[in-house]
Amino acid sequence: MRGPLSAKKLGVSETLAITDGALLVRDFFDYASYQKKYKFAYMPHHQPAGEGWALACQNLGFCYIDPGWSVEKILSLLAETEILLAEAMHGAIIANAFRVPWIPIGTSPKILSFKWEDWCASCGVEYKPRFIERLHHPIKKNDLLSPLKIVLDWTRQKSAAQQLLSITKTAHPSLSAEHKLNECSAKLYEKLELFKQDWKEGVFT
């Protein structure tokens, strides 16, 4: 399971709580071979992702990472980033696996803190999100409905950019200990081998 909170919620042993399986991506992607190109990058949740956030990041000189892009592009950009600001939890999970410090961002109460807290507990870090205002119409086709909306969205983008910049100056990025990741990785592979063995023995047929 992703973490101890999931195990407790389901009433099973905490020994089944390891971490998010996305950690294993570091064994299949050569992130260490990439050179750092971006001091900061921002990866929003997939729902509010769009042109508005891309423009806000562009105005700051930040890298923008859209969770809807291809896996290869996202992994490459994460590997090229020094510090990730992430509303997308799996952006933070991959960044942590790639040894990229990350800062959790929140723009909506709909973001489930339970998932973040569960994963963070699994790798020994504390979930301390920083909150910023949400862009109401982050997608380009909605941004360009009228001249008034263009002005309103430009104002929102400018405000969002200022808030992101402020966070980079005041928030302390998180990064779990390397030995903790190694422990979690070993446990994941152990369970994976057990699953493969059970499959061969017809447990799931």
pLDDT in tens, 73-113: 999 999 999 999 999 999 999 999 999 999 999 987 777 89
75 domain residue, yes or no: yes
Task: Please state the domain count of the chain.
Answer: 1
More confident: 152 or 2: 2
57 domain residue, yes or no: yes
For residue 63, what is the enclosing H or E element?
Answer: strand 63-64
Count other C-beta atoms under 10 Å from residue 159's C-beta: 14
pLDDT in tens, 29-78: 999 999 999 999 999 987 777 788 898 999 999 999 999 999 999 999 99
Share of the chain above pLDDT 90, in %: 74
Q: Which domain holds residue 147?
A: 4-200
29 domain residue, yes or no: yes
Q: Are 4 and 104 within 8 A, CB to CB?
A: no
Q: What is the pTM of this model?
A: 0.89
Q: How far is Cα 97 from Cα 41, in angstroms, rounded to an integer?
A: 16
133 domain residue, yes or no: yes
* DSSP one-letter code for 174: B
170 domain residue, yes or no: yes
Q: How far is Cα 162 from Cα 141, in angstroms, rounded to an integer?
A: 24
95 domain residue, yes or no: yes
Q: Which two tokens stand for residue 176?
A: 């779990």
pLDDT in tens, 153-196: 678 888 889 999 999 999 999 999 999 999 999 999 999 999 99
205 domain residue, yes or no: no
To the nearest 10 degrees (0 to 180), the angle between helices 71-79 and 89-97 is: 60
